[in-house]
Amino acid sequence: MSEYNGAVTLDMWTDDYRKISYLCHTIHYINSKWELVERVLSTSEWDSTLRKTSDNIKPAIIQALRRYSIEDFFTKLVYVTDRGSNIVAALRSVTRLSCAAHILNTVLYTTIGKPSQEDAFGEEVTTLVTGAKSLVTYFKQTSLQNRLKKTLKASVETRWNSVHTMLESISCQYEDVRALLLEREKRVV
Spatial distance between the Cα atoms of 113 and 133, rounded to a whole number of angstroms: 13
Helices (H), 9-147: 54-66, 85-90, 100-113, 120-141
pLDDT digits (tens, 9 = 90+) for 90-147: 999 999 999 888 888 777 767 665 555 555 556 777 788 889 999 999 999 998 989 9
10 touches 97 (CB < 8 A): no
| Residue 128 to residue 146: CA distance in whole angstroms | 24
Q: What are phi and psi of 62, to 5 degrees?
A: -65, -40
Q: Which residues contact 75 (CB under 8 A, 6 or more apart)?
A: 93, 94
Q: Domain 6-98 belongs to what topology? A: Nucleotidyltransferase; domain 5 (3.30.420)
* CA dihedral for 49, 51, 54, 60, sign (positive or negative): positive
* 135/79 Cα distance (integer angstroms): 38
Q: What was the pLDDT predicted at 189?
A: 59
- DSSP-derived pairing of the beta strands 36-45 and 95-98: unpaired
Element (H, E) at 94: none
CA gyration radius for the chain? 21
pLDDT at 18 exceeding the cut of 90: no
- Answer for the pair 40, 61: CB distance below 8 angstroms, yes or no: no
User: Where do the domains of the chain lie?
Assistant: 6-98, 103-188
Render pLDDT for 27-86 as a digit per residue (tens, 0 to 9).
Answer: 998 888 999 999 999 999 999 999 999 999 999 999 999 998 988 888 889 999 998 899
Q: What is the pLDDT of residue 184?
A: 85
Residue with the bigger pLDDT between 18 and 131: it is 131
Supply the pLDDT for residue 122. 66
